[in-house]
Structure formats: structure tokens, C-alpha cells
Amino acid sequence: VIKCKAAIAWEAGKPLSLEEVEVAPPKAHEVRIKIVATAVCHTDAYTLSGADPEGCFPVILGHEGAGIVESVGEGVTKVKPGDTVIPLYIPQCGECKFCKNPKTNLCQKIRITQGKGLMPDGTSRFTCKGKQIYHFMGTSTFSEYTVVADISVAKIDPAAPLDKVCLLGCGISTGYGAAVNTAKVEPGSTCAVFGLGGVGLAVIMGCKIAGASRIIGIDLNKDKYAKAKEFGAAECISPQDFKKPIQEVLVEMTDGGVDYSFECIGNVGVMRAALEACHKGWGVSVIVGVAGAGQEISTRPFQLVTGRTWKGTAFGGWKSVDSVPRLVTEYMSKKIKVDEFVTHTLPFDKINEAFELMHTGK
């Protein structure tokens, strides 16, 4: 058993609490990882807020991390102690019908237990003050050591800087893949990206790499425009600057609508606007943001009858074990940006400040 520091969410809506936790050794087909770096994501904040129907407490959150394998359980063959890895919230077992189907990346092998905050055998590897602590998204990167299933880990280039590539565990991969895998953005196309946080910027990057000729960023926070333009947005607009709905503004700006739109916020009203900003006949709108529990999307069916397509994406459609090492290689060879997404670097004990920076849009 390893004793180390972890940030525990004891209950919904309260700040995280830095505690000493016990991390049990990995069982069969499990891997214990020393986490070197982790990022914070709105998904962590969503669960912490209490809005997540699958949220269980007390829990160690975090799902964008990178580290070094400390030890492995029986039967683990893909990684060994000392390997550099990124934990994966969408695993890839290679055996289930989802893994065998090229149309999806949604491996279901450990979905049920992962959703309950437990390891595949139905137990937890974390304890604190005599209490069992739940796992989160199969990763729990807000701990100096974590235990994950062996199908939930990608072995990456040991030369990669972990304080940067941890972002490939969720946000950057999700946005980039939404553009290149889910939407399949084509050269010369026009794109609109709603929400210019990390995921939105990654969508812009993906659209740019795919050869889009015009990318429009949409956000209420104008402080985000300069960065969006650095990543490839031609122009940025705020819905607050117009009297009419933003979808009407975009349809006028683009002679009938955009070819591709992306919702990177998790707001069902914006999801509708993103679809309705698409061009009749061929427009494709991709939902990337996660909406609150129980919320529903709506539009007039005629929007779809007249040739628009509504799609969704999880982790950008990447089959995780195969794709994450390749994404790290693309970063190392400067095909994709990662460093530019990092705004602040804080010590672990300032994790609540990191959440505040995210909530204030910084």
C-alpha cells in the first residue's frame, strides 16, 4: 500500500480537500501509476457541482493526467514499471463489439463499474481516514498515485513532457477528433465553433489542419478571441452583440450557413443554435459539450428533413489505446499544438485555485 497526497471531493459543491490517502496495490489486469501531471477540466467541475447523475462521493476526481507506471497486477502485458503512460477514461479492450467496430470508440468492457466509481472487480483501491473513496472516470488523476484497468492506459513516448501531454487525455484529443474524425471537415469548408475554451480551441486546430477556409469562433468572453485567432479562427463574435439569434447572424454571414458547426459548451440552447447555423442540404453539427442531467435538445424536424445532420462525439472518436500514442507523436513532430493550451502551471496544493481560474474563464 502506498500513502500519498490526493485531492478528495468529500461532497458535492465543496472545495477539494488535500488528504493523505492509501492506494492499494494493483490487482489482476490493473496498473498503478505515479501521476506526474494532471489538468482540470469542466467535466471534473460538473461532477463536483452535483449535477452529474453518475457522481458518487467521496471521490478522487481528475481524468486528464500523465505519469509513470509504478507497478502492475497479474496478467498485465502491455505496460511494465517505468513506462510513461496516459490514463484513459474511455478504455480500449479490443474484444467487445464496440472495439471491433470501426465506427465507434466507445468500449463498453468496464462501463458499468466505471460509472459506479469502482474498479472492474467492484471495489475501490483508495481509502482515507478509514473510508472507501470512489474512483472517477476510471482514472482519478487528482492523486499522486492511482490505479487503473490495464485496458485504460496508453503507453507513450518517454521523451514527451508530461505536464503538456496530460492534456491529450481529454480536452485536446476531444476537440481535435471532433473535427477530423466525427465531422470529417473537408478542405475549403466553413466552420463555426461555439465555446472557445480548451476544447473549442482544439476544434479550431482540427478544422485548420483539415483545410477549412473560414473558421468563426463564438463566445461571450471576448478575452478568448485573441487565442482563438492564434489557433486559426478568422473572426470571433459574441451573441450579445446582435439583436437577432446567433444562428441567423451566422446564416447571413456565410451565405446560407456553415458547412460544419461544433458545440463545445454543454448548453442545450447553444446546441440548437449550432445545428440551425448549418447550411441546408449538407450542414453537419457536432455536439461535443456535455449537458446537465435530464436536459433535452430540440429543434424543428424540418431542420433535419432539409438535409442537416446532428452528431455527437466522445473523446473525439479516437480509439484510445491505439490513438493517444499517435497523438503524442503528432505533438512531438509539431503537427498539433499542445503547449499553447497551457495557461497556468500550479503546484498540486493549489488545485482549488485551478478550478477558480477555469470558472472565471482564465
Residues in Cβ contact with 321 at an 8 Å cutoff, skipping those fewer than 6 apart: 78, 88, 91, 92, 94, 151, 153, 154
Instruction: For cell 435530464, name the residue.
Output: 294
Mean pLDDT within 329-340 = 97
Q: Does residue 358 lie in a domain region?
A: no
- Residue 176 and residue 164 share a domain: no
Q: Please, are residues 270 and 297 in contact by the beta-carbon 8 Å criterion?
A: no
The number of residues making up the chain comes to 362
Mean pLDDT within 190-204 = 97
Q: For residue 101, give the C-alpha cell.
A: 467496430
Give the separation between CA 261 and CA 282, rounded to whole angstroms. Answer: 12
- Residue 238 and residue 327 share a domain: no
Instruction: For cell 463498453, name the residue.
Output: 108
| pLDDT at residue number 131 | 97
- Residue 155 and residue 211 share a domain: no
pLDDT tens readout for residues 57-93 = 999 999 999 999 999 999 999 999 999 999 999 999 9
- Residue 129 and residue 198 share a domain: no
pLDDT band at 54 (very low <50, low <70, confident <90, very high): confident
Give the separation between CA 276 and CA 11, rounded to whole angstroms. Answer: 39
Q: Does residue 362 lie in a domain region?
A: no
Torsion-angle region of residue 90: left (phi > 0), alpha (psi -120 to 50) or beta? beta
Q: Does residue 212 lie in a domain region?
A: yes
- Residue 179 and residue 164 share a domain: no
pLDDT tens readout for residues 259-303 = 999 999 999 999 999 999 999 999 999 999 999 888 999 999 999
Give the separation between CA 73 and CA 150, rounded to whole angstroms. Answer: 9
CATH classification at residue 214: 3.40.50.720
Mean pLDDT within 192-205 = 97
Q: Does residue 359 lie in a domain region?
A: no
> Is the model's pLDDT at 98 over the cut of 90?
yes
Q: For residue 354, give the C-alpha cell.
A: 485551478
- Residue 270 and residue 226 share a domain: yes
Whole-model pTM: value is 0.96
| pLDDT at residue number 316 | 98
Residues in Cβ contact with 206 at an 8 Å cutoff, skipping those fewer than 6 apart: 175, 176, 177, 178, 179, 180, 185
**Helix 268-276 / helix 246-253 crossing angle, nearest 10 deg:** 20
> Is the model's pLDDT at 148 over the cut of 90?
yes
Pairing status of strand 30-39 against strand 126-128: unpaired
Mean pLDDT within 103-126 = 98
End-to-end Cα, the chain, rounded Å: 38
Instruction: For cell 440548437, name the residue.
Output: 272
Q: Please, are residues 60 and 78 in contact by the beta-carbon 8 Å criterion?
A: no
pLDDT tens readout for residues 233-254 = 999 999 999 999 999 999 999 9
CATH classification at residue 114: 3.90.180.10
H or E segment and range at residue 64: strand 64-72
Q: Does residue 360 lie in a domain region?
A: no
- How far is C-alpha 360 from the chain's CA centre? 19
- Residue 223 and residue 188 share a domain: yes
DSSP label of 143: B
Give the gyration radius of the chain's Cα atoms. 20
Specify the number of domains making up the chain: 2
Range(s) of the domain holding residue 90: 2-169+319-352
The percent of residues in the chain predicted with pLDDT above 70, rounded, is 100
| pLDDT at residue number 53 | 82
For the chain, what is the mean pLDDT? 97
Q: Does residue 252 lie in a domain region?
A: yes
Strands, E, within 90-189: which ranges? 126-128, 131-133, 145-149, 153-155
- Residue 271 and residue 151 share a domain: no
pLDDT band at 206 (very low <50, low <70, confident <90, very high): very high
Give the separation between CA 131 and CA 21, rounded to whole angstroms. Answer: 10
- Residue 304 and residue 176 share a domain: yes
- Residue 262 and residue 243 share a domain: yes
CA-to-CA dists, residue 131 to 126, 128, 143, 237, angstroms: 9, 5, 16, 49
In this structure, which long-range contacts are made by residues 300-304, counting pairs with CB atoms below 8 Å and at least 24 apart in sequence?
303/275, 303/276
Q: Please, are residues 187 and 260 in contact by the beta-carbon 8 Å criterion?
A: no
Q: For residue 74, give the C-alpha cell.
A: 497479474
Poorest-pLDDT segment among 45-49, 172-176, 307-311: 45-49
Mean pLDDT within 204-232 = 98
- Residue 156 and residue 7 share a domain: yes
Q: Does residue 66 lie in a domain region?
A: yes
- Residue 108 and residue 221 share a domain: no
pLDDT tens readout for residues 2-53 = 999 999 999 999 999 999 999 999 999 999 999 999 999 999 999 999 888 8
**Residue among 232, 234, 202, 237 nearest 221 (CA):** 237
> Is the model's pLDDT at 105 over the cut of 90?
yes
